[in-house]
C-alpha cells in the first residue's frame, strides 16, 4: 500500500477542493485536456481518480468523499450512463463483469475494455461530468447502445 491508497490521517482543506487526507495533497491535478496516463490524481471536480491498465481493461476508480456536489441526480445519471457505456462494450466483446455502480455512492469503479472506448475519451467524459457537462458521456452511451443495445438492468 502506498501513502496515497488508504493511509489514515486527518482531512485538511486544500486549494478550494473538498477535504483531502494529508497524504493526498501532493497528488498531481489531472487537467481535462492534459495527457491521461495510469496513476493516481486529484480531479478538477474535487475527487481522487486512480487509473490502472491490465492486459484486457483499463480500470478507473474515482471517489468523491466530502463532495456532495458530485452526488446530484443529473450527475448520478450521467455517471451511470458512462458505466453502462463501458459495460456494453465489454458485453459485446464477451467479458463477464458488470458495471460497478451504485446509486448515491461516492466510490465509482469502471472497467473499460481496451480497444473499445479510448481511455482518454472515457476519462475526459468522466471529468466533464464532474464539471457539469454531460454531452461526452451521452455520446459514449449512444455509441455503445447503437452497437450493443439498451442496458437490460
0.75 exceeded by pTM: yes
Give 65-116 pLDDT, tens digit per residue: 767 777 788 988 888 888 888 887 777 777 766 666 655 567 888 888 888 8
Give whole-number Cα distances, 51 to 40, 73, 74, 153, in Å: 6, 25, 24, 26
Question: For position 123, what pLDDT does the model report?
Answer: 94
Q: CB–CB of 109/82 below 8 Å?
A: no
pLDDT at 151 over 60: no
Question: For position 3, what pLDDT does the model report?
Answer: 42
Give 112: exposed, middle or buried? Use CB within 10 Å, 0-12, 13-18, 19+: buried
Q: CB–CB of 108/79 below 8 Å?
A: yes
Amino acid at each position: 500500500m502506498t501513502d496515497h491508497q488508504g493511509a489514515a490521517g486527518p482531512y485538511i482543506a486544500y486549494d478550494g477542493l473538498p477535504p483531502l487526507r494529508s497524504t493526498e495533497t501532493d497528488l498531481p491535478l489531472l487537467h481535462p485536456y492534459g495527457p491521461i496516463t495510469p496513476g493516481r490524481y486529484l480531479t478538477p471536480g474535487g475527487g481522487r481518480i486512480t487509473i490502472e491498465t491490465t492486459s484486457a481493461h483499463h480500470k478507473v476508480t474515482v471517489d468523491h468523499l466530502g463532495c456532495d456536489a458530485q452526488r446530484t441526480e443529473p450527475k448520478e445519471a450521467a455517471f451511470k450512463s458512462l458505466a453502462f457505456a463501458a459495460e456494453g462494450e465489454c458485453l459485446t466483446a464477451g467479458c463477464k463483469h458488470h458495471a460497478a455502480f451504485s446509486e448515491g455512492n461516492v466510490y465509482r469503479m469502471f472497467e473499460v475494455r481496451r480497444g473499445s472506448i479510448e481511455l482518454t475519451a472515457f476519462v475526459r467524459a468522466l471529468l466533464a461530468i464532474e464539471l457539469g457537462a454531460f454531452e461526452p458521456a451521452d455520446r459514449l452511451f449512444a455509441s455503445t447502445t447503437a452497437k450493443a443495445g439498451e442496458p437490460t438492468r
